[in-house]
Amino acid sequence: MESSRKSHVLRLTRLDKSGGCCANQGTSEYGIPPNQSPTSFDPSVPPISITNRFQSTHTRHSIYSSQQGSPDFSTPNVSYNDPLFREVLQLQREILHPGGVIIEGLPSDFRRYVAFVNAGHRVWVAGWNNACKELHRLFHIGDQLVSINNLLVKDSKHAFQLFYHLESEPEKWCALRLRRTPLAKSFAVRRVEPGQSVGVRLNQGTNEHDSVRGEQNPTELS
């Protein structure tokens, strides 16, 4: 879940699940609505390539660039200059894209610094070491790991075995195919006027939610 605290008016968007594209749905003062649930994963659809600025010597793409064949995506002009809104819209695009995303990097980094867990007969990203700058902005908690170098991943143990094997290869480079947070909703909420409560209380200035306050009573989060 992503949220924005910036005070800018933006155009609400209707998201097309089939292509991950946005269509205008009128203007609003309140932010970006949650994305729809994604369609089934389709490995035949080219993925969106995700890189970061620390990988420029290895990869062929800039951050959030699309491979040939990926759907076009246009960000509403009103929110384009707001990086937080733009980030939410980009995340929605990645969630809805049926081909998922592809991440390139060193197998040793993925093996040592990324936590993969098994749940529901699938492999998920549960966290990573922020000290490894090569992983910056590549993952979201809740990403589903589908394949490594086009080899389907059976479970987290299988993933680590593949990483170990690839570390011995001359190229020492691999590509991870992910479904971007297929169970998540991404949205942005803004204040209509200065000082207005948006109903979410954060814990000591962090992004950890302490409670959610509705129109009647607050709900404490554990």
Instruction: Give the model confidence (pLDDT) of 76-126 as tens digits.
Output: 444 456 788 888 999 999 999 999 999 999 999 999 999 999 999 999 999
Measured CA to CA, the distance from residue 75 to residue 129 in angstroms comes to 31
Task: Name the percent of the chain lying above pLDDT 70.
Answer: 69
Measured CA to CA, the distance from residue 10 to residue 22 in angstroms comes to 13
Q: How far apart are the first and last CA of the chain?
A: 17
pLDDT bracket for residue 62 (50, 70, 90): very low
Residue of 103, 110, 114, 108 lying closest to 61 (CA atoms): 103
**C-alpha 64: how far from chain center:** 11
Beta strands 114-119; 200-202: pairing state: unpaired
Measured CA to CA, the distance from residue 77 to residue 209 in angstroms comes to 30
Can you read off the two tokens belonging to residue 1?
């879940």
Q: Where are the domains of the chain?
A: 10-190, 193-222
Confirm or reject CATH 2.30.42.10 for domain 10-190, answering yes or no.
Answer: yes
pLDDT in tens, 19-59: 444 444 433 557 888 999 999 999 999 999 997 655 544 44
